[in-house]
Amino acid sequence: MPITQEHELHRRRRGRNYGLGLVLGGFVALVFALTMVKVTNLGATQTPGAAAPAVTTSEDKP
Partner 1 sequence: MTDVTTIAEGDAGFRDYVALLKPRVMSLVVFTALVGLLVAPGGVNPVVGFVAVLCIAVGAGASGALNMWYDADIDAVMRRTRSRPVPSGRVRADEALALGLGLSGFAVTILALATNFLAAGLLAFTIFFYAVVYTIWLKRRTPQNIVIGGLSGALPPMIGWAAVTGSVTLAPVMMVALIFMWTPPHFWSLALFMKADYDAAGVPMLTATHGRRTTRRHILAYAVALVPVALGLGLTQIGGPFYLALSLVLNAGFVLGALRLVRRDEALAEADAYKAEKAFFRYSLWYLFLHFGALLLQATPGVPGWGG
Binding site for partner 1 (CB under 8 A): 9, 12-13, 15-16, 18-20, 30-31, 33-34, 36-37, 41, 54-62
Distance CA 36, CA 4 (A): 47
* Contact assessment for residue 10 and residue 3, using Cβ atoms and an 8 Å cutoff: yes
- 52: three-class secondary structure by DSSP: coil
CB-nearer residue toward partner 1: 49 or 61: 61
Residue among 4 and 60 whose Cβ is closer to partner 1: 60
d(CA 20, CA 15): 9
Q: How far is the CB of 56 from partner 1 (least distance, A)?
A: 7
State the minimum distance, in angstroms, from the CB of residue 11 to partner 1. Answer: 8
